[in-house]
Amino acid sequence: MYGHRERLIHAFYTNGQPSLCASRIQTHQRRRPSDGTSVKGKKNHPDIALYEKDVNTKVNKLQYERLECFLELKTLDKLQDPFQDPSSKTTQYSLESTTKGGTLCRGQIAGYAAQWCARQHRTHGFSVWIGGYWVRLIRFDRTGGTVSERFDIRTQGGLLLEFFWRLTHLTRAQRGYDTTIRVATPAEEALAKEELARWKPEKERPVVVMQVPNGDAFREVIAWGSMAEPESLTGRATRGYPVWDKELKRVVFLKDAWRSDEDDMEKETVTLSKLNAAKVQFVPKLICGDDLPGQATETHALAAEEWNLGAQPEDLVPRVHIRFTEDFIGVDMCNFTSSKQFLQVVFDAFTAHREAFEKCGILHRDISGGNIMLDENGRGILNDWDLARTVAEIEKGARQRHRSGTWQFMSHTLLANVKKLHKLQDDLESFVWLVLYYILHFMEHSKLGDLESIAASIFEQNSEHKDGSVTGGDGKLAVISNRGHVGDDFKVVGNDPLTTWIDEALCSIDFWYGHHKIVQTLQQQASIPGMAAILKMLPDEKSQPLYDHRAFVKYFETALARKDWPKNDPAVPRFEMKKRRRDDDNDEGLEDSLSRRS
């Protein structure tokens, strides 16, 4: 295997006049270096890394920020092939290998690709798998990947050399670079490190200048590392940056994401423009931004080709690269200084939600801890409107292939029924789960025992079915109906205002579900004499506290007006918070959304 690798590298070096070079990395696990600038938990390392020929790899052989292409090498054992070819080229089949070795190898490739695309600004990338004498070529973007039929390097080695020759002669854009990003000049780098010092990245990151669409032109901003790197290869790949706006001469917030390009999804910039025009309170103010010209995924289009025998276009989400700036940089809500401030921040976000609904007919559809931020004055901002839709559009029916929202905060009925349309009541319920989530995680309460297990039972519970669908919400229903998991005497210690708020809110959800269950049961018995008269006697659903925002406004205002709030009770983590999960796009790895090229 070692000699085979040496021959490959020699052929690559001597073929034509390549503008790239390969850095050989030893296969022995204890000697193979990882990228020293990778954060903890992401120190993976492909077998061979390719760079432009001017990159110095003497000190750091693996440099994700300069990587051009990577190779993963395995033994002759075919069980380590991450993919499988069909016995007949006319038969639809599962591209992914189900062997243990193949599954692990596929995960390795997805992990390298995710880290590579998180560390660079790319539209797509290429990689190569070699298993003994067998080779596969892979192209991936934020929708998924396209994998070649495997070929034998002993008889078709020219294909691999031609791939490398073509790769070295592509332009930077064709190789997958985002050409709206450039390396900052020394003066720009110095300016960024002075103005953005408060948000200095955990590991050193290059300072770059990013172009933001501004009408028919572009505005330049300077960035020094994102506040978080994308965890997966496919999906939105959202990144947020504090940036120095060269025109405004001040720090603003930049959001960079690969948005869904499906018909029923409106651009976040359009939604923010509507909210700002309607003077909706407690939402970000859009400065400028839009889709980046020519930057869209191609995997879904390749899946429509005749030669494709893998995933079909309807299985994939087409995406477009969007970038825009807002007027504020938020602070995570877990930094609240008192429980009263926490509830005020949630009420601010609730007010934003109410005004967006009443003034613009817009539902947020992703009420979650990560989407409510503290501003510089300690008030709340409801952020991330990328999943928002108008009520009129929702009522036309679901056209997305995936559920919208963050699992931990989604309503019981959305989790229990994957076909249910998203309604106002689902968002109102999400506010309640958000408050309970933060009480359990950051406040002193009466529930003793394994808090991590209790929180998982409420917020993480799910069941996978034979058809691949996933449902949940049983833990939440238990809390609603009989205070399961938390106990019927649950309280926030020394905090009657917040205890009363959460009790009233949970009762409101219980009343709503109970009312609709009774109506549904009686409607099923409509043929019984006199049943129609009984149905007319039932209270109208408009009398239920979850019907609209009004009852909850009263709950908030009454609680915040009380004088018996505890003093000096800031957030204190009780146990580690689980990473929030957005299940709307499934944000899966490369292995879960691939098309095959024969």
Residues 582, 98: contact at Cβ < 8 Å? no
Decide which of 418 and 539 is more confident.
418
> Sorting pLDDT into bands at 50, 70 and 90, what band is 579?
low
> Token pair 């109906």 is at which residue?
481
Q: Which of 7-16, 23-32, 82-91, 504-513 has the highest mean predicted lDDT (pLDDT)?
A: 504-513
CA distances to 22, 59, 63, 66, 412 from 55, in Å: 10, 11, 9, 8, 53
**Which pLDDT score is estimated for 27?**
36
Decide which of 88 and 181 is more confident.
181
3-state secondary structure of 63: coil
- Give the number of C-alpha atoms closer than 13 A to the C-alpha of residue 175, restricted to the C-beta side: 24
| Rounded to 5°, angle at Cα 119 from 115 and 123 | 90
| Rounded to 5°, angle at Cα 236 from 230 and 237 | 20
Residues 315, 593: contact at Cβ < 8 Å? yes
Cα–Cα distance, 262 to 95 (Å, whole number): 25
- Which helix (H) or strand (E) segment holds residue 134: the answer is strand 134-140
Q: What residue type is 115 in one-letter code?
A: Q
Residues 452, 575: contact at Cβ < 8 Å? yes
**Which pLDDT score is estimated for 419?**
87
Residues 139, 146: contact at Cβ < 8 Å? yes
Q: What residue type is 83 in one-letter code?
A: F
First vs last C-alpha separation in the chain: 27
> Sorting pLDDT into bands at 50, 70 and 90, what band is 239?
very high
**Which pLDDT score is estimated for 115?**
93
And the tokens for 93?
Answer: 């089949």
| Residue 47 scores a pLDDT above 50 | yes
Q: Considering only CA atoms, which of 588, 598, 596, 597 is closest in space to residue 110? A: 588
Q: What residue type is 207 in one-letter code?
A: V
Residue 453 CB partners (closer than 8 Å, separation 6+): none
Confidence (pTM): 0.87
**Which pLDDT score is estimated for 21?**
56
Q: For the segment 98-152, what is each residue's pLDDT rounded down to a tens digit? A: 889 999 999 999 999 999 999 999 999 999 999 999 999 999 999 999 999 999 9
- Region 282-290 average pLDDT: 98
Q: For the segment 213-236, what is each residue's pLDDT rounded down to a tens digit? A: 999 999 999 999 898 888 889 999
And the tokens for 97?
Answer: 């290998």
Cα–Cα distance, 151 to 134 (Å, whole number): 6
**Which pLDDT score is estimated for 83?**
92
Q: What residue type is 474 in one-letter code?
A: D
- Region 335-359 average pLDDT: 98
Cα–Cα distance, 595 to 598 (Å, whole number): 10
Averaged confidence pLDDT in the chain:
87
- Which helix (H) or strand (E) segment holds residue 190: the answer is helix 186-195
> Sorting pLDDT into bands at 50, 70 and 90, what band is 87?
confident
- Region 76-99 average pLDDT: 78
**Which pLDDT score is estimated for 230?**
86
| Residue 247 scores a pLDDT above 90 | yes
Residues 590, 110: contact at Cβ < 8 Å? yes
- Region 412-420 average pLDDT: 92
Helices (H), 312-423: 339-360, 391-394, 412-416
- Region 409-424 average pLDDT: 94
3-state secondary structure of 448: coil
Q: Considering only CA atoms, which of 84, 122, 123 is closest in space to residue 105? A: 84
- Which helix (H) or strand (E) segment holds residue 470: the answer is strand 470-472
| Residue 590 scores a pLDDT above 50 | no
- Region 585-590 average pLDDT: 43
| Residue 32 scores a pLDDT above 80 | no
DSSP 118: H
In this predicted structure, which of 10-24, 64-78, 113-127, 130-144 has the lowest mean pLDDT? 10-24
Cα–Cα distance, 380 to 242 (Å, whole number): 18
Q: For the segment 486-525, what is each residue's pLDDT rounded down to a tens digit? A: 999 999 999 999 999 999 999 999 999 988 887 776 666 6
**Strands 145-148 and 594-597, how do they pair?**
parallel
Q: What residue type is 180 in one-letter code?
A: T
Burial class of residue 42 (count of CB atoms within 10 Å of its CB; 0-12, 13-18, 19+): middle
- Which helix (H) or strand (E) segment holds residue 7: the answer is helix 2-14
Residue 304 CB partners (closer than 8 Å, separation 6+): 313
Q: For the segment 160-179, what is each residue's pLDDT rounded down to a tens digit? A: 999 999 999 999 999 999 99
Cα–Cα distance, 290 to 180 (Å, whole number): 13
> Sorting pLDDT into bands at 50, 70 and 90, what band is 534?
low
Beta pairing partners, 83 = 96
Residue 100 CB partners (closer than 8 Å, separation 6+): 79
Residue 381 CB partners (closer than 8 Å, separation 6+): 282, 283, 284, 328, 330, 348, 349, 352, 372, 373, 374, 375
Decide which of 88 and 136 is more confident.
136
Helices (H), 136-197: 153-168, 186-195
| Residue 532 scores a pLDDT above 90 | no
For residues 293-309, one letter each, b for 16 or more C-beta atoms within 10 angstroms of the residue's C-beta and e for the rest, the string is eebbbbbbebbeeeebb
**Which pLDDT score is estimated for 35?**
74
Beta pairing partners, 128 = 71, 137
And the tokens for 495?
Answer: 């905090």
> H/E/C letters for each residue in 473-520?
CHHHHHHHHHCCCCCCCCCECCCHHHHHHHHHHHHHHHHHHHHHHHHH
